[in-house]
Each structure stands twice: as C-alpha cells, then as structure tokens.
Chains A and B, each alone.
Chain A
Amino acid sequence: METRSNIAMTGHASSKPAEWRDYVSLMKPRVMTLVVFTAFAGYVAAPMSIHPLMAAISIFALALGAGAAGALNMAYDADIDLKMRRTRLRPVPLGKVRQEDAYGFGLVASALAVVLMTLSANMFAAAMLAFSIFFYAVIYTMILKRRTPQNIVIGGAAGAFPPMIGWVIATGGVSLDAVILFSIVFLWTPPHSWALALYKSGDYADAGVPMMPVAKGPKRTRLEILIYSLVLTPFALAPVLTGLGGLLYGLAALLGGAVFLILAWRIYNSRAGEAGSAEDGALYAVRVGDKAARDMFAYSIGYLATLFAALIAEHALGAYIATPLGGIL
C-alpha cells in the first residue's frame, strides 16, 4: 500500500526529472486564472483605488498565494490523487516532484505572497490572504475533504476570498458589496463542484473521498444542486440592489441565472451520477447519462466568469448604466 512518504520516491508513471514546468502545474494555473480574474473584478468594482503598479503587484501576490495553497493541497493529497484518474498525472503522484519539495515550495511561496501583499497593499489584505491559504490548505484539504460530504460547502469559502481581497486591496476595508461578492462565489461552489463529482463519483469513491454523490448518493446530490441553484441565482442579483452592478450586470445575472436554473432542473430530472465514473480521466469525458452534470459543470464556470466580466466592463470600461433598483440595499 502506498504511503504519503514513498509516493514521490517510487514514481509510478514517469522517470523524467522535475522541470520548472512541473512546479508551475503544482500551482494549479487554471485555478490561479480564476483567482486573478475575480480578484481583479473585486478591485475595479471598489470605490477607491491604489497606484496601478501596487495594484498589479498585489494581484500577483494573490495569485502566488493561491498557487502556494494549490501546491500544499497537491502535496498533502498525493496519496488520493494517485487513485483518481482525473488527478493521477499531477506532478507529485507522477513522481516528478517529491512530496517534501511540494510542501517546501508551497510554504515558501505562501510566505513570499503574504510579504508582497503586506508591502504593496495593506496589512488587512495580507492577513486575509494568509487566512485564505490556511483555510484551503489546512481546514479544507487536511480536515474537511476526507471527513465530510459538506467539504466543499465549507471549503468553498477559500475560493470565495479573492474578490473580497481585491476589494480590500483597493479600500483597506470590507463593505456589504465585498461580502456580497464573497457570497456569490461561496454559493456557486457547491453546484459547480457537485456537478463534477456526479460524473466523477467513481473516482472519488475509489479514493475514499466522501463527496456528496459518494456519501449521500446521486439523487440527494441532484436535489442539493437544485436547492443551491435556487438560492444562488436570485442572490446573484444583489449587486444590482446595492448599486454595485448596473444594467449590464443585471442582464448577465438574470439571463445567466435563468440558464443556470434550467440546467439545474435538467440535472434534477436526470440519472446523472448513477452510472459511475467516466471511463477515461479527461475533465469533460462523460457517459451518456451524465451529460446533464457535465453541461452544468462547464456552464457554471462560464456563468461566474460572465458575472465578474460584467462587473469589470461596468467599472473599468465605463459600461455602467444605473438601474432604478440601485441603492435599495
């Protein structure tokens, strides 16, 4: 049986030495992209700003911190990543990067990110960054992930911090709008992650990770996706009521939310998750019965990106048109 300490030494799939690219992939570049995007949206939506160079360095620090948290996650999860088709080609289970090196890399990058954030933005933003790294690496990865089917509900907070940190970089404080941006990502995470878990449930079961479809079954998961979608889509209109979002954002939230609900209803009425996992490890590979879940997973990424893109367009590109509902909250 594999243990965490010998995985990296044995190197199951590769005899190639570690390249710098392996350390880049250790930082989960796709997640970093979403972090930078949502943090930038939070920054430009804020009513104040700092020097552009300082802002750029702060966003870079945030991306570095997110990457560091990803590296710590991959270091700790090397044993279960090895058992899952979707993750077995990551650098640590592949044997390219030693587990100790991944830990060291993650810790050093975390420290550098927090120092950079302190110098370029403010102590509050740096403290939030440090807490979000701790939350993802320790609370989610080490404590929640292997213990409870609510893992990504609570752990989703880690991914919801970036837009709030972007706001804090600009203003030095938190406001209702920042909390709303945090809450949108927080409520978006469960339906997004469970849609993936539905059609990759075999993978999670093999690894012993109690994701909702594994622990409570696909039917309950489909119901919870629908419930969270029913909460998320109206809540995503909250920025319109505070005046943070204008007409463009309102339309994006309204139309995007309608499609989101249709897909959630489609999942609820499907048999997604009951056929086990997809045959191969590709992220979007899916059995016929799981198509509704795959569509929801893919669409949810576009939905969140569209909401934040609308905010960026309104606040950075001058597309803001006030609505009569602005300022109600």
Chain B
Amino acid sequence: MTDEQAPVAPESTDETVTVVEAAQNPQDFIKARNRRNVMIALSLVGFMVLIFSITALRLTQNIAARQDALATEQEALISDEALAEE
C-alpha cells in the first residue's frame, strides 16, 4: 500500500516479468496509490463520524436516563417526607 509496492529492480526470471512491465509505467502506481490514500482518508473520516455519532447518542441516552433516575428519587423523597409529616 506504500512505496514498498513500487516496482523493484527486475531480475531475468519468468516470475518477475510482470514486475518489469509494471516498472515501465510508474505513473499507474502513483495514481493507484493516490486513489488508495483518498479511500483510506475517507474511511478514517467515516470512522470518526461513526464514533462521534455513537458518543453523542450514548450521551443523550445517559443524560435522559439520569434525569429519569433523579426524578424518581425526588418523588420517593417527597412521598417519604409526606409520610413522616403524617
């Protein structure tokens, strides 16, 4: 995915023939690498958006849950005080 994938110095074996062909057009590698980099950047931005969304949603849910718990607690206190006054 990086410079490592750029063509290497060819040796005279059949297996390296395609690498030799690739070495003849390094522009293709640079373009492909740039496209991959753009996709990685977009993926990272997407991941950040997901994490942000999860955090915002969890915060909203937790705040609502805490308010509910406080309201319940207050109701219980009020009813306890009313009982004590009686």
A residues touching B (Cβ–Cβ < 8 Å)? 6, 9-20, 23, 51, 53-54, 57, 60, 95, 98, 101, 104-105, 112, 116, 119-120
Contacts and interface: CB of A to CB of B under 8 A. Distances in A.
Counting from the closest, the 10 A-B pairs by CB-CB distance are: A17-B32, A20-B39, A10-B15, A15-B21, A15-B18, A15-B22, A11-B18, A17-B29, A119-B54, A101-B1
Interface of B: 1, 4-5, 8, 15-16, 18-19, 21-22, 28-29, 31-33, 35-36, 39, 47, 50-51, 53-55, 57-58, 61
Contact of B57 (A6, A9, A10, A51): A51
Contacts, number: 69
Contacts of A12: 15, 18
| Interface secondary structure of B, over-half rule | helix
21 contacts: A6-B15, A9-B8, A9-B19, A10-B16, A12-B18, A14-B18, A15-B19, A16-B32, A18-B1, A18-B5, A18-B32, A20-B35, A23-B39, A51-B61, A53-B53, A54-B57, A57-B53, A95-B18, A105-B1, A119-B55, A120-B54
A14 B55 CA distance: 44
| Interface secondary structure of A, over-half rule | helix
Contacts of B31: 17
A136 B65 CA distance: 39
Contacts of B53: 53, 57
B16 A98 contact: no
B85 to A, nearest CB: 42
Given A51-B57, A116-B50, A17 B33 contact: yes
Contacts of A119: 51, 54-55, 58
A69 to B, nearest CB: 18
Contacts of B22: 11, 15-17
A95 B32 CA distance: 14
